[in-house]
Chain A
C-alpha cells in the first residue's frame, strides 16, 4: 500500500517500476496476481492506454452533468 500511495501517475513506459520500493503494490486484488490473468490484464491495459482520452485531469474535471431522474 505504501508503495502505491507514493506512486506517480505517469503513463506506462516511464520506468515507474524503478521508483516503487516494494516489488508489487500490495493492494492488487485477489486473482490479479497470478500469472495468467495478470498477462491478460496487461494486454488489456495496453489496449486501453491507446484509447484513453488525453489529459485525464481535464477530462474528469470537465465531465459535469446536470442532475436528472
Chain B
C-alpha cells in the first residue's frame, strides 16, 4: 500500500513524506500591548529584507488555490458561515490600519505614509513557508522524507527566526522583537507546533484514530518539552511533561485553536487527493532538543507504518483526553491509565507496546537491517528503546536528551539552590527563556553549547538547510525555482509554483501534487539546460503551456 503511494521509500519503517510547522512565541519588551499580528508581520518583513539582499533567496508569496481548511477527513465540510475565523487559513490575512496604528501607540494613529505594506507570507529558497499565522510568526518546513531531515529543516526555521530577531534588534526604530520556540505563555494562551505526515488515502481514517490515540497520549514522555504550571492558565503549582497536553479537550475534531482534538481531521492533502491524505498532528510540543524532536517525528512515522500495515496495537484508552492530562502531570512516570479491556498501564508501558510492534514490523520487512535497511528505521528504533530504558532506569542519562527532564533538572536546581516554590517568577522565566532562539539567551541552547543537551545536527547542515531545499521531494523544485528565477515566481504553495515570466501578461501555474516528484534527480537537468525562464517553462510543460 505504502509502496504504491511513496515510490522509492521503504515500507514499514520511519521513512515517509513529512514536515513540521513551528509557531513562535513573540515578545517585544519595549512595546507592551503592541498588536501581535503586526509584530509578526515585522518578523516576516525583516527576513524578507535579509533574503532580498541575497538574490538567491528573494521570497515569494503564497498561492492559496488548493487550501481546504474546512474539509473534514470524516467525510464532510464545515459550512464557511459556521466556521470560526481562525479556521479560514485559505485566505491572506489582512492587517488593518487600526492594528498597525495601535502597534505604534494611540498617539500615532495617523500613519506617516512611509510604512511598508505589511508582509504576511513568504516562500523561501529552501522550500519553506514563513508567514503570519493569526498572532504568531510561523515557519513551515519543506517536505522531507525522514525524521533526521525533519529535524534539520525545522532547525533551519529556528535559524531563520534568529536571523529576523537579529535584524530587528539592529534596527533602532523598531526595537527588539524576540522569538520563543515554545507553545504557551503560561496564562491560558497556546500556539501550536504541528507535524504533517503523508498517508495513503486508502487507510481508513478510523484506523488512524484508533491506532494513534494511545500512542499520542503517551508520546509526550519522550518528546514533551516541559512546562511550569498546571492547567490551561498555568495557575496550578507544579511542573508537567508537555507544553500542550492541558489544552486538549476532544478526542477527534477539525479545530486547531479551540476544543483542540488529539486527532485532527483537517483534510487538506496538499497532494493528489485521491491517493493521499496529510495527517495533521497538533498534539506535539515545540522542541529545542534535537533528539526529542527526532523521536517525535521518528516514532510517529513508525506508528503510521504500523497503522498502514494493519498491525497497530489494539488498545483502547478509557477517556483519552483526561488520561493525556494525567500522564503529562506525572513526572515520576508511575501513573496508571485505564484501558477499556480492564488493564491498567503506565505511559511507559504504552510506549513499550508500540515500540515492540514497530520493531517487529521492521524486522519482518527488513527496513531496519544493517544491509538493505532504509538507513533511518534502525536508528529511530534504537533511540526510542534507549529513551524508554533511560526514563525508567537512568534519569540522569535521559536528562541529556529528553527535553522535559533537562528543563526539570535546571528548575529543580533553582528550587534546591534558592528554595523557590513553583509559583516563583524566576522559574516561570526559566521556562520561557528555555526556548529563546538566541544562543546567548536561550537556556536550552546554552545547555547544548556546553554539552549538557545532546545535539544531532551540526551547524553546517543547518546553515545549508536555511538556503537549500531537500533534494528528494518536490520542495527541491519549489525552492530551486525561487532561487533560479528570482522575481519571476509570483507565488507558490505546497502543490504549485506560479511563474510570472517577464514581459508576459500570463501567469503560468505549475502543479506539484506528487510530493516525491520535482526532486533534484528529476529536475536538475532541466534547470541546468535552460537559462531563460521561457525556455525552462516550455521544456517543462511542452504542449501544456497555457
Contact = CB atoms under 8 A, between A and B. Distances in A.
Contacts of B450: 44, 47
A3 B191 CA distance: 37
Nearest to A34: B396
B416 A56 contact: no
A4 B133 contact: no
A6 B496 CA distance: 61
Given A45-B410, A59-B429, A69-B282, A64 B416 contact: no
A52 B421 CA distance: 18
Nearest to B255: A69
A68 B191 contact: yes
Interface string B420-464: 110011101110110000001101001100101000000000000
Given A3-B419, A53-B433, A69-B256, A32 B134 contact: no
B416 A32 contact: yes
A27 to B, nearest CB: 6
Contact of A44 (B185, B192, B395, B413): B413
Considering residues A6, A32, A40, which has the most beta carbons from chain B within 10 angstroms of its beta carbon? A32
Interface in A29-69: 29-32, 37, 40-42, 44-45, 47-48, 51-53, 56-57, 59-69
B395 A30 contact: yes
Interface string A1-32: 00111111111100010001000110111111
Contact of B421 (A4, A42, A56, A63): A4
B85 to A, nearest CB: 12
A28 B416 CA distance: 5
Interface in B171-218: 184-187, 189-192, 194
B36 interface: yes
Nearest to A67: B189
Given A47-B450, A53-B433, A67-B189, A41 B418 contact: no
Closest 4 CB pairs of A and B: A7-B419, A68-B191, A66-B135, A28-B416
Given A12-B417, A48-B430, A69-B256, 16 more contacts: A5-B421, A6-B419, A7-B419, A9-B418, A29-B408, A45-B410, A45-B414, A48-B446, A53-B441, A61-B425, A62-B27, A63-B432, A65-B26, A65-B136, A66-B134, A67-B257
